[in-house]
């Protein structure tokens, strides 16, 4: 019965026994153990030393990414101040493997085509270190909003978040990206131990149906990869139909791509002798498949640059507000959308018609003759950049009150960053010894 307190589908078990042979019993034994929790460091916000000081429990290395640790003794991590501050992302440990294979480099243009809820996008953002461009797309609008929220929490400055059909997006941005990640929707067999709903939704026909959808997404993704660029395909399932066979079919249909070896040794080799990698529960994670491909055929890029739109008065007001709140000059790439003012990434393609929810960081919202600064603006800045800040330890009652949306005592006057162990987690407006809370209602702790 195992930790799921339910029977695994018999057809699934038959397939896994055929696949694993002598390792099948070891595979089954893993389902008697709880899944391991993962913590992934956000280098945009802090280093391991600060994160470890900000978390209860113990962190142990994983083979899947230098940014990822097994987390022991972490209960309800989403309530922790370090989580609110974006210091880490709670992620199944082996889920970090796909971005490790992608090998993102600062300054590159990266597309995460199936990005929600944002684990892999925020991992890529950490590796880009604020340089280059990350485009994170999710076709389902409600999930794209969750993606956007996670990107804001993690302080990502150089990203576009969109909700667009993959074919339309990739046709419009043909040949634009150095690297493209397709973490494809799949039958979810690798998540059975973590998610009982995945067991209930699975049918023997699920892998074949998913494989057809995966082929269509990969066909779209191929359009967006520049010549010499890299395409990484990943799933969280075990079936060959969705993994080795999908990659084989793609390569047969796209001779302009070739398989590449993955330069890390997480998991084990693919079942067909290709250079892809597989991860089973016996390998320290749940269930993942990762394949890396390179485009060797031509793919000319004719994408036009974005032209920001902002009036002189709005620009001046935005610059004055920024320089009143933060040290240094306001970034020059500013734009206005409705009543919102944005700090854009330095290099952007034309955005029109691509379902863009956000480009860059929201600086603030125009309210009459003033601009109200945004939560995402503060989350994207470091304490050292803030002209005014208050700092608390993770166990501070005042910090707990702030994260519940309450007013707290404060000796400053005006807009003030609220930090935990030196990392910004929000802001408020101080007056008369009190800080009026500006922490978004939807993000507040209920206890």
Across the range 202-215, mean pLDDT stands at: 96
For the chain, what is the domain count?
3
How confident is the model at residue 67, as a pLDDT?
Answer: 97
Of 252-261, 330-339, 388-397, the least confident: 330-339
Q: Does residue 302 lie within any of the structural domains?
A: no
Q: Is residue 91 domain-shared with residue 37, that is, in the same domain?
A: yes
Q: Does residue 307 lie within any of the structural domains?
A: no
pLDDT of 4 over the 80 cut: no
Q: Is residue 325 domain-shared with residue 251, that is, in the same domain?
A: no
pLDDT per residue as tens digits for the range 119-142: 999 999 999 999 999 999 999 999
Q: Does residue 347 lie within any of the structural domains?
A: yes
Across the range 103-130, mean pLDDT stands at: 98
CATH number assigned to the domain comprising residue 73: 3.40.50.150
Q: Is residue 220 domain-shared with residue 177, that is, in the same domain?
A: yes
Give me the half-sphere count of Cα atoms (radius 13 Å) on the Cβ side of residue 111.
33
- Under the banding of pLDDT at 50, 70 and 90, the label for residue 24 is very high
Q: Does residue 152 lie within any of the structural domains?
A: yes
CA distance 248 to 275: 12
Q: Is 383 exposed, middle or buried (0-12, 13-18, 19+ CB in 10 A)?
A: middle
Q: Does residue 303 lie within any of the structural domains?
A: no
Q: Is residue 135 domain-shared with residue 206, that is, in the same domain?
A: yes
pLDDT of 182 over the 90 cut: yes
Across the range 36-42, mean pLDDT stands at: 95
The residue segments making up the domain with residue 433 are 383-443
Q: Is residue 214 domain-shared with residue 263, that is, in the same domain?
A: yes
DSSP 137-183: E-SSHHHHHHHHHHHHHTT--SEEEE---HHHHHHHTTT-EEEEEEE
CA distance 53 to 341: 36
Token pair 């978004």: residue:
440
Q: Is residue 387 domain-shared with residue 374, that is, in the same domain?
A: no
**Percent of the chain with pLDDT strictly greater than 90:** 90
Distance of CA 438 to the CA centre of its chain: 25
How confident is the model at residue 73, as a pLDDT?
Answer: 85
How confident is the model at residue 338, as a pLDDT?
Answer: 85
Q: Is residue 64 domain-shared with residue 100, that is, in the same domain?
A: yes
CA distance 130 to 243: 32
- Under the banding of pLDDT at 50, 70 and 90, the label for residue 307 is confident
| Backbone φ, ψ for residue 32 (5° rounding) | -85, -10
Q: How far apart are the first and last CA of the chain?
A: 35
Q: Is 410 a catalytic residue?
A: no
Where does a domain end: 295, 323, 353? 295
Across the range 212-231, mean pLDDT stands at: 98
pLDDT of 1 over the 90 cut: no
Q: Does residue 300 lie within any of the structural domains?
A: no
CA proximity to 276, closest of 238, 234, 236: 234
Q: Is residue 164 domain-shared with residue 191, that is, in the same domain?
A: yes
Q: Is residue 184 domain-shared with residue 99, that is, in the same domain?
A: yes
Q: Does residue 431 lie within any of the structural domains?
A: yes
Across the range 187-207, mean pLDDT stands at: 94
Where does a domain end: 379, 397, 412? 379
Q: Does residue 168 lie within any of the structural domains?
A: yes
374: how many CB neighbours lie within 10 A of its CB? 21
**Percent of the chain with pLDDT strictly greater than 70:** 99
Q: Is residue 326 domain-shared with residue 404, that is, in the same domain?
A: no
CB contact at 8 A, 248 and 270: no
| Mean pLDDT taken over the chain | 95
- Under the banding of pLDDT at 50, 70 and 90, the label for residue 84 is very high
Across the range 336-362, mean pLDDT stands at: 94
Q: Is residue 169 domain-shared with residue 215, that is, in the same domain?
A: yes
Query: Can you list the positions of beta strands (E) in 199-345?
Result: 225-235, 257-260, 268-269, 277-279, 288-295, 334-337, 340-343
pLDDT of 3 over the 80 cut: no
Length of the chain, please? 447
pLDDT of 309 over the 60 cut: yes
- List the catalytic residue out of 114, 170, 236, 410: 236
CA proximity to 144, closest of 164, 163, 158, 159: 163
CATH number assigned to the domain comprising residue 436: 3.10.450.720
Where does a domain end: 236, 270, 295? 295
CA distance 276 to 270: 5
List, in order, residues 6 or more apart from 213 with CB less than 8 Å away.
184, 185
Q: Is residue 238 domain-shared with residue 338, that is, in the same domain?
A: no
How confident is the model at residue 6, as a pLDDT?
Answer: 62
């Amino acid at each position: 019965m195992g930790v799921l307190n339910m029977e695994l589908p018999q057809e699934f078990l038959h397939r896994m026994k055929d696949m694993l042979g002598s390792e099948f019993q070891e595979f089954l034994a893993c389902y008697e153990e709880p899944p391991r929790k993962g913590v992934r460091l956000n280098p945009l916000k802090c280093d391991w030393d600060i994160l470890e000081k900000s978390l209860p429990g113990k962190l142990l290395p994983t083979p899947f990414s230098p940014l990822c640790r097994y987390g022991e003794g972490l209960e309800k991590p989403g309530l922790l101040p370090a989580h609110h501050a974006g210091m880490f992302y709670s992620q199944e440990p082996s889920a970090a493997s796909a971005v490790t294979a992608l090998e993102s480099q600062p300054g590159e243009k990266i597309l995460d085509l199936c990005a929600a809820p944002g684990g892999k996008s925020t991992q890529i953002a950490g590796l880009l270190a604020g340089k280059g461009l990350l485009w994170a797309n999710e076709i389902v609008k409600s999930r794209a909003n969750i993606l956007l929220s996670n990107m804001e929490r993690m302080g990502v400055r150089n990203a576009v978040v969109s909700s667009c059909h993959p074919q339309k997006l990739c046709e419009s941005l043909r040949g634009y990206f150095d690297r493209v990640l397709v973490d494809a929707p799949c039958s979810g067999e690798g998540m059975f131990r973590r998610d009982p709903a995945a067991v209930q939704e699975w049918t023997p026909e699920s892998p074949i149906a998913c494989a057809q959808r995966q082929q269509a997404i990969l066909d779209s993704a191929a359009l967006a990869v520049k010549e010499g660029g890299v395409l990484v395909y990943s799933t969280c399932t075990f079936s060959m139909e969705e993994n080795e066979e999908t990659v084989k079919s793609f390569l047969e249909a796209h001779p302009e791509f070739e398989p590449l070896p993955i330069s890390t040794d997480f998991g084990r080799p693919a079942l067909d002798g290709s250079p892809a990698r597989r991860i089973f529960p016996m390998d320290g994670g749940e269930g993942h498949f990762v394949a890396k491909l390179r485009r060797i055929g031509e793919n000319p890029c004719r994408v036009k640059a974005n032209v920001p739109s902002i009036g002189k008065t709005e620009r001046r007001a935005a610059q004055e507000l920024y320089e009143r709140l933060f040290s240094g000059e306001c970034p020059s790439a500013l734009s206005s959308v409705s009543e919102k003012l944005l700090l854009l990434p330095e290099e952007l393609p034309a955005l029109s018609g691509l379902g863009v929810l956000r480009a860059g960081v929201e600086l603030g919202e125009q309210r009459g003759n003033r601009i109200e600064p945004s939560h995402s603006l503060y989350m994207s800045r470091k304490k050292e950049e803030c002209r005014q800040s208050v700092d608390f330890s993770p166990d501070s009652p005042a910090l707990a009150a702030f994260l519940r949306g309450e007013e707290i005592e404060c000796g400053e006057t005006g807009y003030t960053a609220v930090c935990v162990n030196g990392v910004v987690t929000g802001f408020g407006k101080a007056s008369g010894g009190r800080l009026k809370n500006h922490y978004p209602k939807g993000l507040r702790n209920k206890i």
